[in-house]
Every structure is written in C-alpha cells, then in structure tokens.
Amino acid sequence: MSGNTLKRIGDYEVIRELGHGGMGEVYLVRNVLSDRTEAMKVLLPSLAGRSEFVARFMREIKVLASLEHPNIAALRTAFTADDQFVMIMEYVEGTTLAERLERGPFSTGDALNYTGQVLAALSYAHGKHVIHRDIKPGNMMLTPQGVVKLMDFGLARSADEVGLTMTGMTLGSLDYASPEQVQSQPTDERSDLYSVGVSLYQMVTGQRMFSVTSSFSIMEAQIKQIPRPPIDVLPTVPRPLNDVIMRAVSKDPAQRFQTADAFREALSQLSAAPEQPANQQAPVTEFVTPQRTFDPGFTVPDTNASGSSSNPNLLLMLVAVLVAALLAGAAIYKSRQHGPQEVVASSNPQVSTPTSAGDSSNAQSHDATPPQASPTPAVTETQPTEANPASPSPKQPAVMARKAQPASQNLSPAPAVPAEDLQAQQQAALEHKQQLDAMETEIDQLDSRAASADSSIDTLEQQLHQSGLGLRGDVVASRSNMHTDITKAKQAMEASDTERARRYIDMAHHELEHLEAFLGRR
C-alpha cells in the first residue's frame, strides 16, 4: 500500500501520500469519472483481521455519514476494494492549528474566531448525539479562507452507545483529555468542551496548560492540579476571556459550560480583542505546506535494519548441489571413455567425495546426488562390501563392472543449467537471505524497544496504583497484542515465511508505537 506501489483503487487514481502510520494511510486522489480531487483513508491490510481496528474504522465511517456541517470535513463515500476498507473524504487544503501554534500564540480575535467555529461544529455533532472525544489543535484544520474544519472522528461515538465508554481518547492526547477520560469514566458532551477549553488556553498563551511531560504527571495534573490562569502566563489576555477559559477547564463537569452553544455564546459576548502587543504575531494570512487533509494521528518510525549471518546459508547449499550434479555427469562421461575397470573404481564406497563448498553434509543431504568421481588414478581391484561381498576377479572386468555398480547404468548426465537461470537462482536465494537477515535485526530492535516500554509501564502502573488509579484497558490490550505479534513474527522467521513475518512485525510496530506515544516518547 505504501510507497509507489499504490496507483489506483476502484475509480480513484492516487496522486500522492498525505500521511501514514501504524493504523492506516491517507492519500490525495482523483476520481477518474468526476475528475474531483479528494482524500482517501485506507485501513492497513495487516489490521483488517483485527476486530477492534475494523470496528473503529467502520464507526468513523458511520459517524461521518450522519454529519453534514460546514465546519466538519465531509465523508463522500466508503467501500471495500481487494479486501481493503476505504473511505473517501473531502480534501481540505490548509494547515492544522497545531502547526500554526508552532509560530506562537494567536491574536485574541483569531483565537475567538477559530474556537467559535469548532464549537459550532460540536453543537451540531452533539445535537446528533455524537461525541468527538479527541478534540485538540491537531484535529482542527484551517483553510486559506479562514474556515476551520474539525477532523478525525475515529474515536467518536454516539452518546447512547454501550461498551465504548472505557476507551475515551487517543493515546498521546493526554494534554487535552478531560479528568473523566483520564480516569476511564463515562464521558459526555462536556468532556469535548473541556478539550476545547484546553485548546483555547494554548491558542491565547502559546503554551500547554500543564508543563509536565511524563504520562503519569499529565494524568495526575488533569485530575488534581488547578491550571495556572492564562492571564498569569500572558498578561495581555483579556480578563473576561481568562475567566471563560478557567470555567471551561473545571475539573467538575457540572462547573463547566453545559453545552457548546453556551460556551460559544460566552465567547461572542466578549469585548473586541485589544490591540496586539509587539511580541505577538499578526493573524495568519499565509499557510505553510497546504497538503494535509487531516492529521492521521500516528507516524511510523523508520527502521534501517542491517544484515545478519545467523540464518542457514541457502546460497552455498544451492551452489553445492548444482556443482555436485555437474561433476557427477562429468564422472559418468569419463567412465565411458576409460573402460570398465575405472567404473568399478568410481563405485567404491570407500573413495572420499570432496565438495567444492567445503561442507560434505550439505551435498549428502540430497539423495538424488551421486558421489563425485575420484580425481586419483583408477583402481583395478575393489574391496568387499555388503552389496559385493566377494572381491571380483581381474579376469572378468565386464562382470565386475555390472555387479559392482548396477545403479550407475541408470544414471545420465545432468542437464546443463543456463547461465542466466543459475544467476537468477543465486540472486533470488541471496535476496531471500538478506530479507530474513533484515527482519531478524528488526525483530531484535523490537524486542529491545518492547523491553524498555514494559519497564516504563510497570513503573507507571505502580505510581497509578499508589494514587488509586489504574492502567486503561486499551493500554493493557496494546501491550498484550505487542508481545503476541512479536512471538508470531519470530515463529514465521523460523519457518522462513517472510510474508507472514512482515505482517506480524508491522502489527507489533503499531502496538509499540501506541505504547510509546502513551509514555510520551513520540
């Protein structure tokens, strides 16, 4: 799916990749019938057999299909092609507010404008009983026309869905998660409004609400720590705006705005933004790299695996067998030129058979490969053997030849192997070995990263237990899946099944990336 191998799916021609990660890939595509440019999101084939990922993908399709709002990226259609799950979405040209924040805080007017548009989208979605559950600047796309589009409904759910309340956020979004999400408690619309308040805090101050970096510290801060008021971080923040933000990020959902409309109305009543101070940047008029349709929410680390020499030397085995076969044919041809006594000598089981590969066990493992003729002068007498107990008389060389070597009469010279075929076989064997070696190195690296993640999670779990908290179910599941995938990848490697090994290595990478994101390493 990745790289340049994907050219077309159904009626959609792929133009370029917009984003990719452990769960899926996003492409800029063109409908060959309508000629319209759109965005295509594809679930990775390696995850198509995992019910939890398929369920999340299908839920996003159904949620988006029920929503139609100018501040929500629209779903065009969805289908399956070649056992792949595909959704076609509105292509939104622009940049995320997270990327814009890298340039500093927004003006008060821009912050109010962008947040008001997000709240308009949430008011509509909440009216449809859809809770987003992953509100953050990275999921807000700003177009060159100043329109904000809310993205990534992959964790969204209907308010009346049962069994989905315990996995309330994307791993790595702890900075914007509500206290109830962190504690894996049931969430409602007010949880989204908390995340909007945290995002607005960052827009006007240019800083995150909590400066801590470890996952445990962020979770603890979201539950227990009262954030520093925005006006204390940046004195130019208007007092009324400061008070609205502090209300939005209340720990108790009952103390927050109860609806998106109430939050939006409070922002609309604020006075006009004051003149911008010199240390703040002007409103955005230009946009950097207008290529993204939405933040796929994951990245895939590069793995530059190096070679290893621990696998069987398949290339040398192949060469040994081919050389032995060619030499056997030469021996038969020679026997017909030098008479029956030399044939008797070549059949003597006591004559050694050196191999060009320097490893007689490789050649002997193939029953169809006859022994190589000895390069020493022909022997005129043979020793008694089980097949020929009596030493043959030198007066009967023809009889000796027939009795001592009956099997040799059925042998024929091995057919010549074309040079190009031999070269192709050698190249294929070499490439297969290199692929196995690279995968083995990649698995070793996965083992090392998994051990480090296990150690950090064990420490975090102890800290959580001391505070009366526990690991969320999705973290526990990712950890278990990661170890299962690594084990299956190793089993596939032992069977030299590179395709199966590749599939489980990719799945293990995905689970490990989730854990590392949770631990704040990505």
Q: Are 442 and 303 in contact (CB under 8 A)?
A: yes
Q: What is the pLDDT of residue 50?
A: 82
- According to DSSP, the β-strands at 140-142 and 37-43 are unpaired
Q: How far is CA 240 from CA 119, 207, 229, 243, 310, in A?
A: 18, 19, 12, 5, 68
**Residue 369: pLDDT above 60?**
no
Name the class of domain 421-518. mainly alpha
- Residue 136 pLDDT level (bands cut at 50, 70, 90): very high
Taking the C-alpha atoms of residue 479 and residue 298, their distance in angstroms, rounded to an integer, is 17
Q: Which of 372-376, 410-414, 462-466 has the lowest mean pLDDT?
A: 372-376
Q: What is the pLDDT of residue 102?
A: 94
8-89 fold = Phosphorylase Kinase; domain 1 (3.30.200)
Reported as a single tens digit per residue, the pLDDT across 498-512 is 888 887 898 888 788
Stretch 100-127: mean pLDDT, rounded? 96
Name the DSSP class of 273: P
Q: What is the pLDDT of residue 429?
A: 84
**447 noted as active-site residue:** no
**Residue 353: pLDDT above 50?**
no
Instruction: Report residue 150: phi and psi, to 5°.
Output: -80, 130
Q: Pick the residue with more confidence: 365 or 332?
A: 332
End-to-end CA distance of the chain: 24
- Residue 24 pLDDT level (bands cut at 50, 70, 90): confident
Q: Give pTM, 2 decimals.
A: 0.59
**Residue 365: pLDDT above 90?**
no
Longest dimension (CA), the chain: 125
Q: Would you state the structure tokens that stand for residue 12, as one six-digit string?
A: 């959609």
Q: How far is CA 380 from CA 54, 178, 384, 404, in A?
A: 77, 95, 13, 12
Domain boundaries, the chain: 8-89, 95-268, 314-410, 421-518
Stretch 438-446: mean pLDDT, rounded? 86
Q: Which CATH architecture has domain 95-268?
A: Orthogonal Bundle (1.10)
Q: Would you state the structure tokens that stand for residue 19, as one six-digit string?
A: 């984003």
Taking the C-alpha atoms of residue 340 and residue 335, their distance in angstroms, rounded to an integer, is 7
**Run of H or E including 65:** helix 51-65
**Tokens 């278990």, residue located:** 480
Q: Are 515 and 478 in contact (CB under 8 A)?
A: yes
Q: What is the pLDDT of residue 248?
A: 98
Stretch 278-304: mean pLDDT, rounded? 42
Contacts of 43 (CB under 8 A, 6+ apart): 23, 24, 53, 54, 57, 84, 85, 86
Which pairs count as long-range contacts for 454-463, CB under 8 Å and 24+ apart, including other chains? 454/479, 456/519, 457/515, 457/519, 460/215, 460/216, 460/519, 463/216
Stretch 204-232: mean pLDDT, rounded? 91
Q: Are 378 and 341 in contact (CB under 8 A)?
A: yes
Q: Are 138 and 109 in contact (CB under 8 A)?
A: no
Q: What is the pLDDT of residue 313?
A: 56
What is the CA 155 to chain-centroid distance, rounded? 19
Q: Pick the residue with more confidence: 170 or 467?
A: 467
Stretch 21-41: mean pLDDT, rounded? 89
Q: How far is CA 474 from CA 56, 166, 405, 469, in A?
A: 13, 8, 71, 15
Taking the C-alpha atoms of residue 402 and residue 448, their distance in angstroms, rounded to an integer, is 64
Stretch 247-272: mean pLDDT, rounded? 93
Q: What is the pLDDT of residue 113?
A: 96
**Residue 439: pLDDT above 80?**
yes
Q: Would you state the structure tokens that stand for residue 231, as one six-digit string?
A: 């006006």
Q: Which of 307-321, 435-449, 468-482 has the lowest mean pLDDT?
A: 307-321
Taking the C-alpha atoms of residue 486 and residue 504, their distance in angstroms, rounded to an integer, is 7
Q: What is the pLDDT of residue 232?
A: 96
Tell me the HSE value of 500 on the side-chain side, using a 13 A CA sphere: 11
Q: Pick the residue with more confidence: 509 or 314?
A: 509
Q: What is the pLDDT of residue 277?
A: 45
Radius of gyration of the chain (CA): 35
467-500 in b/e form (b: 16+ CB < 10 A) is eebeebebbeebbebbeebbebbbebbeeeebee
**Residue 190: pLDDT above 90?**
yes
Q: What is the pLDDT of residue 130?
A: 94
Reported as a single tens digit per residue, the pLDDT across 140-185 is 999 999 999 999 887 777 655 544 443 433 444 789 999 999 888 8
- Residue 192 pLDDT level (bands cut at 50, 70, 90): very high
Q: What is the pLDDT of residue 472?
A: 66
Q: Would you state the structure tokens that stand for residue 454, as one six-digit string?
A: 């296990």
Q: Are 175 and 218 in contact (CB under 8 A)?
A: yes
Q: What is the pLDDT of residue 153?
A: 86
Q: What is the pLDDT of residue 351?
A: 41
Q: Would you state the structure tokens that stand for residue 492, as one six-digit string?
A: 């596939």
What is the CA 31 to chain-centroid distance, rounded? 27
Minimal CA–CA distance to 283: which of 108, 434, 401? 108
Catalytic residue among 134, 152, 175, 474: 134
Share of the chain above pLDDT 90, in %: 36
Output the average pLDDT for the chain. 75
Q: Which of 194-198, 207-211, 443-447 has the lowest mean pLDDT?
A: 443-447
Stretch 30-46: mean pLDDT, rounded? 91
**Residue 404: pLDDT above 70?**
no
Taking the C-alpha atoms of residue 127 and residue 416, their distance in angstroms, rounded to an integer, is 77
Residue type, position 123, single letter: S
**Residue 485: pLDDT above 60?**
yes
Q: What is the pLDDT of residue 467?
A: 65
Taking the C-alpha atoms of residue 182 and residue 223, their distance in angstroms, rounded to an integer, is 8
Helices 498-518 + 473-494 axis angle, to 10: 150
Stretch 17-43: mean pLDDT, rounded? 88
**Residue 247: pLDDT above 60?**
yes
**Residue 57: pLDDT above 80?**
yes
DSSP string of 353-396, one letter each residue: ---TTS-HHHHHT-TT-PPPPPSSPPPS-----SSS-SPPPTT-
377 CB burial (10 A radius; 0-12, 13-18, 19+): exposed
**Residue 383: pLDDT above 60?**
no
